[in-house]
Amino acid sequence: MKRKIYNDLLEWKKQDVFKPLIVLGVRQCGKTFIIDEFCKNEFKHYKRINLFDDTNVIDLYKSKKNSDQKYNDLKLILDFDFDRPDSILFIDEIQECEELISELKYFNENHSNVRIICAGSLLGVKLARLKKPFPVGKVSRLYLYPMDFEEFLLAFNQEKLIEHIRNCFNNNESMGVVHVKAMDYYRKYLLSGGMPDSVKKMIECDSDYYNFDLTSLNDIIEDYKNDMNNHVEGAVETLKIRKIYDSLPSQLSNASKKFQYSVISSDAKSREYYLPLNWLEESNMVQICKCVKNPQKPLLGFVDNDTFKVYFSDIGIFNRIVGNDIKTVMIDDMGIYKGIITENYVANALKTSGINLLYWKGSRESEVDFLISTNSDGIIPIEVKADNHTQSKSLKVYNDLYHPKYMIRISSKDFGYNKDTKIKSVPLYAVFLIKELINR
């Protein structure tokens, strides 16, 4: 499957002086697969180790030997000379040895010709809780998310459809009859989500989508819950992590949609749940969208850190957790969850594009779902609608207060632009293109 992070890996390869690369992402999003494919395709000499299996590497880096000795011994243990030109070492599950994580500084400072890529399960959580010094400034980072809708279409060999969507997006032109086809793929994506194994099962349905196999999503959810025992302070923290995660459908379906500790339990306090919530964020199981009450540049300078929303990191997982079956999703009959599932989908698409998740909350119960900061057009508000009922009261309030150059409404309607309301209409299947507005 084609993944857009491959281009980022190629850019890393072009560097003259190498920093070890850490690839972060939620479990089962395809980190190992895409790194392995990149290393095989782009380098003549390649060695992959997995620290779940290669425990002798862990023993080496826990030893009292100095860095030079460890470096030379690592070559002997692996029987691999990563100093050779056109060589690369992939260290998987590196979270199992924080001494080796700390030692990445040595690689950068003393062997900057060596190419090393690292990844692992819950690596983000481990990095946030290291007891050994982290090599600040000595490593590069890339984030891999579940497949976005563009990658989903690529998996179905729909390059021509992507090109048509992009042209209509850029020119505010109607998709015509192709709109129906694109919306059909969108609903399939809601069902499968972006986890590669789940997308593969969707492809294997061969158009018989009512026989889509949901077991891979069920297994991932179970793995997530099992992971909540790892890199924690103890059983109490595990329980709190699970309580937060289980509360998310209720959090998103309440009137304000903002995260409320009282939804977890009546006596829950923020100071008691700060670390468990941070665990979920660093594990990439959730994505946090923070409130901005004064939409000025730089947006991050006006964030209200006490007011935020928490989304699931994958829309397929969200649908499984709330029990939406295949028919419910495919005939677009998701009931009370339709709105929040649509909003969660948009949040995932923006985050995957590298856009900070921020929303605006005003007075008079007005709220805009997302804000983006563009180079030439200023702050642009985005409102999300689950269907084609597109009255935008909050956008009108926002426009009256801040007079943006234009506004975006995401819905099931076709592309278009209304000069009177200044609203650019973007179909749900085209959210992956919004990032292109930022640098215009």
Domain boundaries, the chain: 5-143, 211-437
DSSP letter (8 states) at residue 18: P
DSSP-H helix ranges across 79-122 = 98-110
pTM to 2 decimal places:
0.95
pLDDT at 260: 94
Tokens matching residue 302: 């006006």
pLDDT at 280: 97
| Cα angle for residues 99, 91, 223 (degrees, 5° grid) | 95
pLDDT at 209: 83
- pLDDT tens string for the chain (440 positions)? 899 999 999 999 998 888 999 999 999 999 999 999 999 999 999 999 999 999 999 999 999 999 999 999 999 999 999 999 999 999 999 999 999 999 999 999 999 999 999 999 999 999 999 999 999 999 999 999 999 999 999 999 999 999 999 999 999 999 999 999 999 999 999 999 999 999 999 999 887 888 899 999 999 999 999 999 999 989 999 999 999 999 999 999 988 889 999 999 888 888 999 999 999 999 999 999 999 999 999 999 999 999 999 999 999 999 999 998 888 888 888 888 899 999 999 999 999 999 999 999 987 778 999 999 999 999 999 999 988 776 778 999 999 999 999 999 999 999 999 999 999 999 999 999 999 999 88
325 C-beta neighbours (distance < 10 Å), count = 12
Closest among 170, 217, 173, 175 to 192, alpha carbons compared: 217
Yes or no: say if 381 and 396 are a contact pair by the CB < 8 Å rule. no
Between CA 291 and CA 144 the distance in angstroms is 25
Distance of alpha carbon 413 from its chain centroid, rounded?
Answer: 26
Closest among 18, 245, 29 to 114, alpha carbons compared: 18
35 Ramachandran zone, left/alpha/beta (phi>0; psi -120 to 50): alpha
pLDDT at 330: 86
Bridging pattern class, strands 407-411 and 423-427: parallel
pLDDT at 278: 96
Strands in 370-374's sheet, in edge-to-edge order, are 370-374, 378-384, 407-411, 423-427, 416-418
CATH 3.40.50.1000 for the 5-143 domain, yes or no: no
pLDDT at 257: 82
